[in-house]
Structure 1
């Protein structure tokens, strides 16, 4: 029984691994959100403690002072977030925030995880939503991948899954000119990867013809180069003249 569980190809091992990875995946999502909620609640408690003594002056009708204090705290915290967000959008504020983030904030536990989680919910594009053909090595060998992050206007992070198991793969940071963006749904691209390339031709037929044109051009260039390299070198013709011995010349 122990050997069966330890066997990586056995059903109990696969089931246990699936359960463990699923639980960890849920934890990765919930933990940053829980920390974010905890921080917001902590700030609200601080503001309530500061505003509560003034809640009698701000009381409206029969509303309890504690309710008034909580509402005022939420309003103040929302305005504070708005001011910070507005400041960060300005050039000087953005530069200051990048400096603050690189020197101090990135040192805080879970900050990078929380930052990426918030970007997933607020970003204009979600990871894996854009499918690309990447010329990673600059030799016209194309890889089917997904945009995971936009580092700059001309630099992207891409994930290239391996087939038939797309949970494994490689991460590359490439420039825009190395990418061909495909008008393909992520599900279609993933099915092609799981099928170890089957269906790729259909995706290319429905997309920019320049991709196939470039591939054909590269093949033509490679073929002509190969033909040139395989041209036999002109060698002197073989003759049937027998070799003469030095003694016979005498």
Structure 2
């Protein structure tokens, strides 16, 4: 009986978690959409409140509006006028006390992670952590810079070591390039390996032992 119950849990758990995540995303989008409609009610002329209230109850409209809004804002931000407007907005936010610290930090992290020119999370590697002889999977985030780069002798890499089974938290390490062992598995495969606590083993790849570790962040 215990075996059958576990088999049933394994069957329905992925679907249940998927539905839960989708509902959470939909709830977040609905909250933003309702907030925008609330602002619209303030700015709209008299008599438009009933129409706005009906829009708030249309199923799926919030998802469509938010996706279209993200698409249009992305198109705007990639042209010359949009890039100038984004620079002006960043300059404005950088002069607001308290807000500038939060905004600039989040922007730096998001630009590093999601920029097509960035190196973050492009390679999975093996590194000895938390002690010698104990290995874990890490992701190359680049090379140390600024004061840290000048204080460390030799070639080093910046690594992110995620925790299991929640990879959104982890540890930031700076290690010598010679101590890093490159992996042929993709970042997605490495994340699945970490989240599953080693249960989901990636497919067989040719070894990359001959690839110098210093090239990983290049």
Q: TM-score, normalised by structure 1?
A: 0.38
> Higher Cα Rg: structure 1 or 2?
1
